Structure 1
Amino acid sequence: MSDDMRAVAARALAMVDLTNLNDDCTADDIDTLIARADTPHGPVAAICIWPRFVAHARAKNAEINIATVVNFPSGNEAQDSVVTQTAQAIADGANEIDLVLPYRAFADGDHDRAGMMVSAVAAVCNGKALLKVILETGELVEAGLIAEASRLAISKGADFIKTSTGKVAINATKDAAQVMMTVIADGNRTVGFKPAGGIRSTRDAAAYLAMADEIVGEGWATPDTFRFGASGVLDDLLAVLDGKESEVGEGY
């Protein structure tokens, strides 16, 4: 394995949101995830889990960075309920909230509903948790709509914009990433980017990081501004760092 690929793997590992959003996830699975997150080559950026497991994960590990999801995966829950879920997740110990934009409403032209949802959750997160807004780009499809959703989420308080839930047919794509990172680069404040779903190899990670370097700038992508929403990629990153053959993992 080349030194260049090892360098990519080391860079990417620190940006992984190690994810278990399986419908059949258990507390034992969360314990396993927490153990996997502390690798021989350093910790991942965060674990990303269902809200019902946040308190358990925080009790298990006081230091780990915990992301959780709200309005997930449908994007069509009532705003009051999502706000309540967000506040409870933060109280339970979540450091980061991954909010699904009401993308169907947005695609149908109801931008006010989508914007109000982001604003309301941003108000709860303010100073307490990082807010990542999931656009569900595989459902929005059109580049212009993805760009418009990116700008809306950023204008309403998103700290990150994220491609996907990993629960639809098309998740992270390089085309969507290019659109979203171009919006970030054209903006007037620092906003992060998170591709999620279908990222399973060091080569996949390398492609996204190269795009970030080209569009937003060399050195911009750090764990503070760039995350990979994934579970399967970790095994491959570790294999590359250990000098072994690529081991493309299964999972989100």
Structure 2
Amino acid sequence: MNNNRTLHDAARLALACLDLTSLNDADTAADIEALCRRAQTAHGPVAAVCVWPRFVAQARAALPAGIRVAAVANFPEGEVDLTRAVADIELIALGGGDEVDVVLPYRALMEGRRDEVAEFLSEVREASRPLVLKVIIESGELKTAELVAEATRMALAAGADFVKTSTGKTPVSATLQAAGVMLKTIEASGMRHAGFKASGGIRTVADAREYLQLAEAWLGEAALNPRRLRIGASGLLNDIEAVLGGGAGSVEPGSY
């Protein structure tokens, strides 16, 4: 594992794996236009933009083919609402989207309604093909490592391409502890294509570097690319650009 990765190197990798996100209730077409401009930085493009389903067609038209368009389904509540989730997925596909970030019904899982959760995930996987499917387990609400691992296993068993930590809409979003459990579970599954997405509360390159190092520890250096690793954030790009531009972004520990 490369524990000596510089902030500059981490910033470049984080940029390449970034899902630049805008999921505010009051988002407008002008906000999405600005987001798509931000996605094409002087230091290179982000991996994807992530928006509400209603903005997918606009984002797809505004972006080059190399930047993927993701949108959310069953978001952020994560209820057992297959009708809503499939409607969201259909809108995403119709708009030319590439990826779906769907919320696993985590409350149902916590209540022991495992069959309902498994059926929901199976139906969502079928409805979303051939789009990339990221399943959000809302790790901060699951509370225990056992539930985080179980949610991760269920997502993978249903055919998820990525397992994602959080919606970013709950009091606790991504944590290194939950990420470690998820990554260990992905590695143990033997599904060499499956990826990991950390999302929620990651605002600096120094923060992102910790997740990069953790992902490398469990999945190996070959997984450090946008096909298997994503970071979902809205504010992180500011710090990435500051670091890559030589400005006053994140600083190395002990350098101040």
Q: TM class by shorter-chain length? A: over 0.9
**Distance (Å, rounded) in 2 between the aligned partners of 1:201 and 1:174:** 14
80-89 or 101-110, which deviates more? 80-89
**Distance (Å, rounded) in 2 between the aligned partners of 1:195 and 1:148:** 17
Deviation at 1:77, TM superposition (A): 5.1
Match of 1:26 among 19, 25, 28: 28
Name the counterpart of 2:227.
224
Contact 1:197 1:229 in 2 (8 A): yes
Contact 1:21 1:50 in 2 (8 A): yes
Contact 2:152 2:182 in 1 (8 A): yes
Name the counterpart of 1:106.
109
The one-letter code matched in structure 2 to 1:84 is A
1:233-252 paired onto structure 2 within 5 Å: 233-246=236-249
The one-letter code matched in structure 1 to 2:9 is A
Name the counterpart of 1:89.
92
Contact 2:7 2:250 in 1 (8 A): no
Contact 1:239 1:246 in 2 (8 A): yes
Deviation at 1:121, TM superposition (A): 1.3
Deviations 1:198-223 (A, max 9, x none): 00001001100111111221232211
Contact 1:122 1:158 in 2 (8 A): yes
Other structure's SS at 2:223 match: coil
Name the counterpart of 1:184.
186
Deviation at 1:179, TM superposition (A): 0.2
* C-alpha RMSD over aligned residues: 1.5
Name the counterpart of 1:193.
196
Name the counterpart of 1:40.
42
Other structure's SS at 1:195 match: strand
The one-letter code matched in structure 1 to 2:68 is N
- Where do 4+ consecutive residues of structure 1 move more than 6 Å? none
Other structure's SS at 1:24 match: coil
| Structure 1 unaligned spans of 5+ | none
Contact 1:192 1:224 in 2 (8 A): yes
Aligned length: 246
Name the counterpart of 2:172.
170
Other structure's SS at 2:248 match: coil
Match of 1:133 among 115, 132, 135: 135
Please give the TM-score of this superposition, normalised by the length of structure 2: 0.92
Contact 1:235 1:247 in 2 (8 A): no
